[in-house]
Amino acid sequence: MTVGELTAALSGLSALVVGDICLDRWCTYSPAASEPSRETGIPRIGVLATEATPGGGGTVACNLAALGVGRVSVLGISGDDGHGFELLRALRTRGVGTDLMVTGAPVPTFTYTKIINSETGIEDRPRLDFISMEAPPAAAEQEVLARLESAAARFDVIFVSDQAETSQGVITPAVRELLAHLAGRYSRKPIWVDSRKHIGDFRKVIIKPNREEADAECLLLFGQVDYQRLRQHAEAPLMVVTLGPAGALLVENGRMTPVRTTPVDHPVDICGAGDSFSAGAGLALAAGASPVLAARFGNLVASITIMKKGTGAASAAEVLAAGGGALDG
C-alpha cells in the first residue's frame, strides 16, 4: 500500500472523536506592558492577542479534518460559558461537526490558557487552566452515553480522548463500559483509545499509551513493566506504545513489533505529536492497513506536525509530499 493509496481512501471515511474536547487559548503578551496594577500592586500580564484552537480530543479531530477525512464529528461536554462558545466556533471553522456535543452543561469548559512572550515567542508564564474537580453531571453523562450508542454505527472509526487528570472527565466508568460493548458489537471498527491516567481501565479496544504512561500503568498494576501483560489485562486486540523519536512498539497477542521512524532534527514543537500519530494510525487501520503500516503512517503524520508551532495538523498534500512511495517498502 502506498501513501497515495492511503490518503486517497481517507475522503471516504467518517470518524468520531469522543471524550475531553478541550479549548487551547494562546495569549500573546507584551513584557513592556507587564507593569504592576495601580489598584492592587500585583504585576499584570498585558495580553496583545488571543488565538483559540481546539485541544485535547479536538486536536485529534483537527488532524483528521486536515488529512481530508470525509466526515469528522466530536462528542464531548462543553460548559455554558464563553470558552464553550469559542470551542464550538473553533471546531466548526476547521470543518469538524459539533452536532453531537453536549452543550450548556453547568461545568467549566475544559480550557488550557497558554501565555506567550511576544518578544521571544516562548511560553514563559504559568498556564491558566479551567478545570473541574468533580465528575460530569449525571444528566450530561447520560446524554453522552445515549449519543455515543446511537451514533457509533454511523462512523468507520472511533477515537477516544481521555485527558482529565484532576478528576473524572467525559470518559467515565459507564462510558468505558459502553465502549467495550461497542467494540464487541462492531468488531471490525477500530476504537482507538488514548488515556493519560486510566489506560488500564479500558477493555476490548485498541489502546495507545506513550512509554511513560504504559510503564506507570504496568508498575501500578503489576509492580513491573510488562507490556504483554498490560495488553492482556485490557483485553486489547492491539496496544500501541509510542516512543517519541524511536517510533512505536506494537504489542499483539504473542508478539511485539518495533516500528521505527526517522528522527526529525530540531523539531519546532512536539506538543500534539501523539494526537497526530493517533489520527494517522487509526485512520490507516480503518482504511484496511495492517498495524505495521498504520504505525508507519502515524509516524509520518507526526513527523510533519512537530515541525509546526503549537498543535499543528498535517494536510494530505503534505503527507504525500513527505511520504513518497510505499509504506511497506
pTM: 0.94
Can you give the pLDDT at residue 53? 95
Residue 328 has pLDDT above 80, yes or no: no
Residue 326 has pLDDT above 60, yes or no: no
Can you give the pLDDT at residue 81? 95
Helix H or strand E segment including 318:
helix 316-323
* Neighbour tally for 168: CB within 10 Å: 18
Q: How far is CA 296 from the centre of its chain?
A: 18
Measured torsion, CA atoms of residues 69, 112, 304, 299, in degrees rounded to the nearest 10 = -80
Over residues 76-96, the mean pLDDT reads 96
What is the rounded CA–CA span in Å between residue 55 and residue 42? 30
Residue 190 has pLDDT above 90, yes or no: yes
Over residues 34-45, the mean pLDDT reads 87
Residue 269 has pLDDT above 90, yes or no: no
Q: How far is CA 298 from the centre of its chain?
A: 13
Can you give the pLDDT at residue 166? 67
Query: 3-22+54-110+132-323 sits in which CATH class?
Result: alpha beta
Cell triple for 250 = 506494537
Can you give the pLDDT at residue 270? 65
Can you give the pLDDT at residue 36? 86
Least confident among 11-15, 233-237, 309-313 = 309-313
Q: Where are the domains of the chain?
A: 3-22+54-110+132-323
Cell triple for 181 = 460493548
- Tell me if 231 sits within 8 A of 251, measured CB to CB: yes
Over residues 152-169, the mean pLDDT reads 90
250 three-state secondary structure = strand
Cα atoms in the Cβ-side hemisphere of radius 13 Å centred on 307: 12
Percent residues over pLDDT 90 in the chain: 77
